[in-house]
A = this chain, B = another copy of it.
Amino acid sequence: MNFEFNEDQNLLREQAQGFLADNCPPAAVRAVLDGDAEYDADLWQKIVEMGYTATVIPEEFGGLGLSYLELSVIAEELGRVAAPVPFSSSVYLATEAILMAGSQEQKEAWLPKLAAGEAIGTFALSEGHGRATAEELQTSVSDGALTGTKIPVADGGIANVAVVVASNGLYLVDLDGAGAERESVRTLDFARGHSRIDFNGAPAEALGDPSDGWALTQKLLDRAAVLFAWEQVGGAQASLEMAKEYALGRYAFGRPIASYQAIKHKLADMYVKNTLARSNCYFGAWALDTDAAELPIAAATARVSSTQAFYYASKENIQTHGGMGFTWEFDCQFYYRRAKLLSVNLGSESMWQSRLITAVEQSNAA
């Protein structure tokens, strides 16, 4: 049994923790939260320099050719600091989509740029409220031109390239080119920019066979779900640690609030949820890395339990902080906002619960 990160991966984690402690302290998150920027461009540049954006991209396309286990480690650490950067959009979604379905030409065109931070990527599926289905999508491509509106598009204001799910396929669109108009929309996580993008005949290249568009999208969602889940687990863990730290130092009626069972059992519940979620993420990372048949189950399991763990930990972290917890001045809000953002950014808990049972049914049928 060897169900653990290896020494190199643990070293990478330590390095990432040090790097992020230096370059993404709470003040950095707060600067984006309080300001008008859509992301922390300096931090992003440094992340690129660390090679994190290049992690799983093969060397032939300018990447490091590392495994998804390394990327999982980075995802968790970025989640732990609530990094205000477009890593999930660019790496888990856009890069993944091209790796998964891109032609050699497309890979050559985009992967080196994505690896080197010369381009930021994103993913555009949602066209408004509710759970999207292939049948309901209005966006479509005809004669290589994309028309329709996507809202919200995470990091859409700063992305250079978008992977767009249209009613008739999965497409790659150069957002710096013609036919893509963006308008910033505000989400409850002010530390992450989102946009509405109106496509008016933007040139679009099919990713994979257009008739496989919806199936490819589902596969992409599974792959991204594992990495999102790691980021969520990182945030959940940070929330638990904040809550614990505060509860140990805060006294009421002559003793630390951490000695009251109401708080102790709350933190124990966080620990339990976080641990189960993390263990499911391990399995997700393994399945992603080995491209196992279990991926749909593993992804949904990791995603559902991480979403639940992060929501619980982030809200009960505030609760543990009492009055200070809901002030702007304290950092608890970073995780509460991010928990909700990450949970809807890739489809809700109940969507993933439903995907999980579908995956079990398909696995039983196979």
A residues in contact (CB < 8 Å) with B = 260-262, 265
Contacts and interface: CB of A to CB of B under 8 A. Distances in A.
- As for how many copies of this chain the complex holds, the number is 2
A349 to B, nearest CB: 19
Nearest to A263: B261
A266 to B, nearest CB: 10
A260 B262 CA distance: 9
Contacts of A265: 261-262
Contacts of A261: 260-262, 265
5 contacts: A260-B261, A261-B261, A261-B262, A261-B265, A262-B265
A262 B260 CA distance: 9
A260 B260 CA distance: 9
A260 B265 CA distance: 12
A252 to B, nearest CB: 12
A309 B139 CA distance: 48
Contacts of A262: 261, 265
A261 B259 CA distance: 11
A228 to B, nearest CB: 30
A262 B262 CA distance: 7
A263 to B, nearest CB: 9
Nearest to A261: B261
A261 B252 CA distance: 15
Nearest to A260: B261
A253 to B, nearest CB: 12
Nearest to A262: B261
Nearest to A265: B262
A262 B268 CA distance: 12
A260 B261 CA distance: 7
Contacts of A260: 261
A225 to B, nearest CB: 28
A28 to B, nearest CB: 38
A258 to B, nearest CB: 13
Most chain B beta-carbon contacts within 10 A, residue among A260, A261, A265: A261
A126 to B, nearest CB: 27
A262 B261 CA distance: 6
A261 B262 CA distance: 6
A98 B110 CA distance: 77
A265 B261 CA distance: 10
A247 to B, nearest CB: 14
A269 to B, nearest CB: 12
A45 to B, nearest CB: 49
A261 B265 CA distance: 10
A261 B255 CA distance: 15
A322 to B, nearest CB: 16
A68 B69 CA distance: 66
A265 B260 CA distance: 12
- In the A-B complex, the 5 residue pairs with the smallest Cβ-Cβ separation, listed nearest first, are A261-B261, A261-B262, A260-B261, A262-B265, A261-B265
A261 B257 CA distance: 12
